[in-house]
Structure 1
Amino acid sequence: MEHRCDHRKLLSCEITIKDRKLGKLKGKVRNISLSGMLVDIGEESQQINTIVEVSFPVEACGGTSQCHAKAMVVHQQSGCLGLMFSELDSSVRQMLRKALYGYATVAERAYLYQGYKATRNPDPVKNQRASIY
């Protein structure tokens, strides 16, 4: 059963995972959302429910920024870790939102929506009636 709350976007970038017991692991992000990510770590293994620190680059606003967050390992299978963000700084959340959806704040979303509405027919019923008569 699928429990995801957010849309995942395919992403291919290097990631560093820090664990208190295992030290640093290197991996590659496969997909990401505002709530978590799937990371390919090869033959390494990680314990479920472990809190780790992750560091990965995100492209947004015409540049690349390094994101740092805490995440919990929620599953491991076929050389991949499923990570759920447990602590996500507001600036990192904004960078991810911008990279995933093209907007970072509610105000930006409203602005983009207004631009979308302006390009669409504001009253399709009225225009349909006009074309009938």
Structure 2
Amino acid sequence: MGSKARPQGLCALTSVELDQLAGMATYFPTIFLGVAVFLLNVVFSWLVGTQREQIAVLKAFGYSNAGIGMHYAQMVLLISLLGQQLAETYSTFFRFPYLDYHLSPCVAAIGLTNRSRDYQIMP
């Protein structure tokens, strides 16, 4: 008999749900991090724009472009590390469950037994 077995309705529904969750787990963090990087860029562009006079004084005292740029890069790094520390504190305070599925042989045997009863050929 060369017929291909159709998946059960609940199995297909669960499979579609898991595929959707996998997609959301990929796209939402990407969008969130993209927005965070954009906002950080906007804030630091504004900060550099408002501190143009201070930057001009520093350059007049002999600081190089790289030295001034390094100062602002250190500020970005400090804010990023602070955000990382806050995220780690949040993750230790709120414990989210991790789905680790193990199929018990007993459960599999019960399922196969019940399934095989459904397909018994009646005379």
The structure whose residues are more often helix, as a share, is: 2
Q: Say which structure, 1 or 2, has more relative contact order (CA 8 Å, 6+ apart).
A: 1
Q: TM-score range by the shorter chain?
A: under 0.3
Which TM-score applies when normalising by structure 2?
Answer: 0.24
Which TM-score applies when normalising by structure 1?
Answer: 0.22
